[in-house]
Amino acid sequence: MKITFRTAADASTPRLVARAAEPDKLPAGLGAAAIEGAAISRFSGKAGQLFESFGERGGRVERLALVGVGADKDDARQAALERAGAALAARYMTSGETALALDAGDLGPREIAAVLTGLVLRAWRYDIHRTRLKAEQKVSLAEVVVIGAPAGTEPAWAEQAAVVEGVKFTRELVAEPPNVIYPETFVERCQERFAGTGATLTVLGEDEMQALGMGALLGVSQGSVRPARMLAIRWDGGAPGDKPTAFIGKGVTFDTGGISIKPAAGMEEMKWDMGGAGAVAGAMLALVKRKAKANLIGVCGLVENMPDGNAQRPGDVVVTMSGQTVEVINTDAEGRLVLCDAMTWAQKEFAPARMIDLATLTGAMVISLGHEHAGIFANDDALADQLLAAGRTSGDKLWRFPLSPAYDKLIDSEIADIKNVGPRWGGSITAAQFLQRFVENGTPWAHLDIAGMAWADKPGAVWGKGATGYGVRLLDRFVRDVLEG
């Protein structure tokens, strides 16, 4: 989506003009037909509400869209503005219109940036593999021209555009089919996107991981012809010598369940089991592009979980990089085996000040929270509160769950140090308890189970059906509030 700015309308201004309307207050200068039409249509300026009319000016037909930007509370203003932009995208992205003029009106720079954020994110669609779309099904809207924006709008949008780019990158990675994105190509795509940004990328192959003792991660990968990879993205934007913050993502690029194979129905959706790694890559791209003033590490453990004759078996015992042994009860509880070695490597290699992992880890989380919140578990109350606050502000919402020794004993093994699943109840909690055993030296740590949020079966506030890009804006907001604030 091309975004341009002009001080005033002229003959080249797009015929489709969008104007923002506050609750129960129409913008000035509307014609009588538009005013009466809005009243007849019960348009009241609620967030995301849309009214359209046509008129003639200078011998050409113009298309006017009024979009509501209203919010009941001040702290909901950002979301309301984004919802307004998203409403414009949903209505006009396949309308045949190629450009839209956004009349800035009385909106301030950050308010305009919020409308553009919602518009660009909602207009994103990944049609690269669709070759037979009819003309009316194709996305036509390619440009937004902002008219009359106040000083400071372009810098405000430039900063926000970096975050939007990160969200779109996450969606791209998650949306791609598993024969296109697998561990090697995930790394290659990141290398392409981060080229020339100033970030440093480190890639470990299977021989290097074997030498480091990553038996848990490699055990998941051993049934696949696609070799595993460990990817680290480093950005040193903070004070020299300050310990970095580590973001760690589960990157199972396709999850059959292994020998404990999943049911066939819906298995195609398991291409998004790398949503945690996708979120980390997208967040790092956003932070690097906007040159965040913080030292950051993004670590992605990348594997494919397949059930061939060399695949890991239920009953196997693997040795993790930490030296702890794990009895594999269920090969479909593979994400925690990937994360535990990624967490250990991140701590030993980078000595982070804090560690946050993101993973589409458990179906139990979807049962608990549906598709409205991701779950958060933390060993540090301050870190948990900071992430919860970032979730409320960014719209990537979180809900906290407990950690307790009472749950920890449910994953004790009789043959190894730990087993990779507990009983049926408390499945998300016992998964978090498993990961907690790999936190070293009291490092502040939070685990985000995003299983219900990485993919959507229906459109949401600023996304269509499919990959949501969840986690990018959450981590960006956390960095702004905690590390840069």
Active site residues: 262, 336
Q: Which amino acid is at 434?
A: F
With b for 16 or more beta-carbon neighbours within 10 A and e for fewer, the 409-438 pattern comes to ebbeeeebbbbbbbeeebbbbbbbbbbbbb
Measured CA to CA in angstroms, residue 412 lies from 406, 434, 446, 449 at distances of: 11, 10, 22, 22
Cα angle for residues 295, 243, 430 (degrees, 5° grid):
100
CB 247 within 8 A of CB 356: yes
Residue with tokens 């055990």: 219
Distance in angstroms (rounded) separating the CA atoms of residues 468 and 453 = 7
* Spatial distance between the Cα atoms of 351 and 344, rounded to a whole number of angstroms: 10
Q: At what angle do helices 153-175 and 183-194 cross, to 10 degrees?
A: 160
DSSP letter for 227, please.
Answer: P
How does DSSP assign 278-296, residue by residue?
Answer: HHHHHHHHHHHHTT-SSEE
Q: Which two tokens stand for residue 387?
A: 């992430």
DSSP 160-177: HHHHHHHHHHHHHHHHS-
Q: Residue 273: phi, psi to the nearest 5?
A: -75, 0
Separation between Cα atoms, residue 392 and residue 88, nearest integer Å = 24
Least Cα distance to 147 among 79, 101, 205 occurs for: 101
> What is the number of other CB atoms lying within 10 angstroms of the CB of residue 443?
18
Give the Å distances, CA to CA, from 138 to 142, 227, 465.
11, 37, 15
In this structure, the dihedral spanned by the alpha carbons of residues 470, 278, 388 and 353, taken in order and rounded to 10 degrees, is -160
Q: What is the DSSP string of 142-164?
A: -EEEEESPPTTHHHHHHHHHHHH
